[in-house]
Structure 1
């Protein structure tokens, strides 16, 4: 299986089984946060296990543009030389956030509290379609001067004195929550965020590790103004979202036995495991431990027959990136599966509800979209195979690849190189697992 070239179409052949012991790249969400928070710390932050991808490399470039020195000691180790809370400097050119939604929204929170100057943020065509009013509104309430372009990028921020607010998220979003909390580091008084459902808490955990006064209660997170931060060391566990395609592949391909090592098992990230368990998957967690203050462990996955299930709105935030893979698993399950309360999927790198349903239907699956989810009628046998248009969305490209492994005839994935946004070595790893199984 050759590595994809720019805008490549790549064919993934069926696998006889998926076997092996592998590790996945460092968690992308934590890697973003380590670089961003490290940039406003005092002193050096050393990051090990850094999850290198197109998105996280955009974060390195962004902080460098703001005057931060980042030394790269190999592929997975960085040293970020922090400039202090108010040490970010406006660059002469706009900061290019590429396709990284986490970067643009979290960086905006840090920039809102800088001492002065104007910061312009832009992104690629895909990121420029994603809603930015959801961060501009709370930042403006805190006193920041924020200009969007009709609620989207490009975005302009001028540093201003900020004051704390109490903000209720209209949509469960870890990115928006994190933006407000990071701005709260600069705000007089206390900043309180209420969330309708639990979302990823990597920002809260890292801010606490850096010495910020963060309080967490059910449904509520608050932060007080900070005088200084210091992280020192950050160890990044393996990215569950990168492990998830392999978990589903090993579940679906008969005769598989796969071990994934050092995976982040933060319960606000691993909703897919609970969903698959209801469906009958055989996933065992062992060697539980802490990596960088995050719960982690190893996974053993064996192939298993599945039954359909329903995923509701309360599970969506903790499985948001893996919901296309749930749809694929549902294609192999006996009976009907439903997803509800996931309208947020329509505001990702693509309209992921539409893209997921179209991908499955192209492979012969009975699937239909709804306003906030989808319905899939599964058949417990191998898919026919065919062609998946990734629409430039890395999650859809990986869905297509897993479908190819579990299909009868293979799947051609268009624009396969977009997986580099989160998992540059994905197709190489898939090829290695196939060779080990041969």
Structure 2
């Protein structure tokens, strides 16, 4: 690891600076601190390892050349000369006493790799022991430029300036930066984004801890046969109905995930008998009595949260809902408006959320533009009411998920009249019938491997229902337009790479496909258009911004136009990068599959986030990937 350098921009901070033991080098900014021989005599001998930085403004000081000569008598460890100040006499003077750093700064933008590499080569030829490249971050692809420079050069200090590019300094430290800069608390920010020392130490520790748990994915292609994992969306609907079904519900092909496990824990805590043998789950609901009050924790599951008030209104008089992690930061207004519209009383609008009473209204009006999950919860709960109910929905999104809900209800004997996805009529006094059912394979999770095959290789996937109402089955339509070979048999789907064409696709009703489709689009040379990015703003992360950040780091240009994301594919991405998936399972999977396009490994921080929906993702990847 490199050294931490504390930047001294005011001589009055010297005593405070040297009282700390958390850095190894002090930088004296001769362009910022007025110097004389007395100051040099007083301070330079008191610290062993200095960088004396020289900028064009340094020469505005009176007698600066004489002052510099005097400083060099103390033989400081490093002298950093900005390119604008270079001359043969100055270089020779410095290298006779100190190790020379030559620096290039660009306060407007980050030039391309070739330009910066030429600078490095030139500076080394001039005698630099170390080269410093510091540019203003202007776009996320600048991260890739910095990473590429570290991949090719030793003895480098290179990072991006700017508040939005602070992470570049942290990543540079672990890429091999010889020096990383910090400032004292409340000291002048001499460059945009330079952190305070304590914050830098904290961020380095956090990043190092995350690196210890990271996964490295080398460039690969895929080949082999795999089985799709169980769909968490389908399984959670089955669990919700099992709670409301008298008698026994049997779910075959059951697989857990963080979201499913949180829901199953609720089932157990409500007092239902649960038996799991191999992949068969049996839920017994025979002696249940209506509860006075109950408290449940939905974990990070947005679906469980948005369905649960309606489900619990059939279970208890008062009910409390807790949540964790990213779910605590998601907006609640539209969700709570839907609950209120049903007649359920809201006792607390902040976590833990608290509710009272049953669904009272016979006509319910809700907004479906934010999410369809509240409607799913209503539809599952309303057949048990003593009266008929009509639900009017405005601007319903994710219609296939409502199809999934209706299909599951139908298999348990419940009928719902649907008019144009805007009016749903549910007869009261219906009962769910005992049923044995198989959990659907998950199109959203397996879409990652289908895309990997379309980019580089061939894969056969079993346990996928081609007639499933799952929205993400639309991946087949995209891959067909992309140019992949698709073979569908009675038991499997086979995808093989062939052509790589740009595509247009509306993701409004299948927002979970968005991340992996940007990787697919990066392979196709040209512009792909993916509609519906506004659906991504309130997922596990601000998924739209996070996709643009990650793909930008990979060197892929993305633009937003109204509700369309334009991906400018060039057939490859930059590797050698460390990716933060922002606690989002789909972004971790997306970044991993991107290695099919990379020229170097991709490091994924916090890979365990995939456990939310696809715990076996990385184990499955190991089974089918072949290193290039």
What TM-score, normalized to structure 2?
0.62
Report if the CA contact (8 A) 1:239-1:264 is conserved.
Answer: no
CA deviation vs aligned residue, 1:155-198 (integer Å, no higher than 9, x gap): 21212352322435340633122022133234422233435352
The answer to whether 1:185 aligns with 2:389 is no
1:80 to 280, 283, 291: 283
**Which residue in 1 is equivalent to 2:404?**
202
> 1:86 & 1:61 partners in 2: Cα distance?
18
> 2:447 & 2:574 partners in 1: Cα distance?
19
Q: How does 1:218-229 map onto structure 2 within 5 Å? A: 218-219=420-421, 220-229=423-432
**Which residue in 1 is equivalent to 2:332?**
132
> 1:282 & 1:399 partners in 2: Cα distance?
21
User: CA 1:404–1:237 in structure 2 vs 1: closer, same or farther (change >3 Å)?
Assistant: same
Q: How does 1:279-358 map onto structure 2 within 5 Å? A: 279-287=482-490, 298-312=492-506, 315-317=507-509, 319-358=510-549
Q: How does 1:402-413 map onto structure 2 within 5 Å? A: 402-413=593-604
Q: Which has the higher helix share?
A: 2
**Which residue in 2 is equivalent to 1:214?**
416
CA deviation vs aligned residue, 1:52-90 (integer Å, no higher than 9, x gap): 11110000111222222211112x211111258974663
SS at match of 1:275: helix
SS at match of 1:118: strand
**Which residue in 2 is equivalent to 1:146?**
346
The answer to whether 1:45 aligns with 2:249 is yes
**Which residue in 1 is equivalent to 2:554?**
363
**Which residue in 2 is equivalent to 1:67?**
271
Larger radius of gyration: 2
SS at match of 1:162: coil
> 1:63 & 1:233 partners in 2: Cα distance?
17
Residue 216 of structure 1: how far off its partner (Å) = 3.1
**Which residue in 2 is equivalent to 1:239?**
442
SS at match of 2:335: helix
> 1:46 & 1:282 partners in 2: Cα distance?
37
Report if the CA contact (8 A) 1:243-1:263 is conserved.
Answer: no
> 1:390 & 1:108 partners in 2: Cα distance?
30
SS at match of 2:293: coil
**Which residue in 2 is equivalent to 1:294?**
none
> 1:86 & 1:186 partners in 2: Cα distance?
15
SS at match of 1:81: strand
**Which residue in 2 is equivalent to 1:155?**
353
What TM-score, normalized to structure 1?
0.87
Residue 125 of structure 1: how far off its partner (Å) = 2.4
**Which residue in 1 is equivalent to 2:237?**
33
User: CA 1:408–1:400 in structure 2 vs 1: closer, same or farther (change >3 Å)?
Assistant: same
SS at match of 2:625: helix
> 1:234 & 1:113 partners in 2: Cα distance?
23
Report if the CA contact (8 A) 1:211-1:230 is conserved.
Answer: yes
The answer to whether 1:400 aligns with 2:594 is no
Q: Could you list the runs of 5+ residues in structure 1 that have no partner in the other structure?
A: 288-296
Q: Could you list the runs of 5+ residues in structure 2 that have no partner in the other structure?
A: 1-208
Report if the CA contact (8 A) 1:190-1:224 is conserved.
Answer: yes
The answer to whether 1:98 aligns with 2:279 is no
**Which residue in 1 is equivalent to 2:215?**
10
**Which residue in 2 is equivalent to 1:118?**
318
**Which residue in 2 is equivalent to 1:417?**
608
CA deviation vs aligned residue, 1:355-408 (integer Å, no higher than 9, x gap): 111111111111245664522100124554522211010000000110123322
SS at match of 2:408: helix
User: CA 1:245–1:148 in structure 2 vs 1: closer, same or farther (change >3 Å)?
Assistant: farther
**Which residue in 1 is equivalent to 2:224?**
20
> 1:271 & 1:7 partners in 2: Cα distance?
37
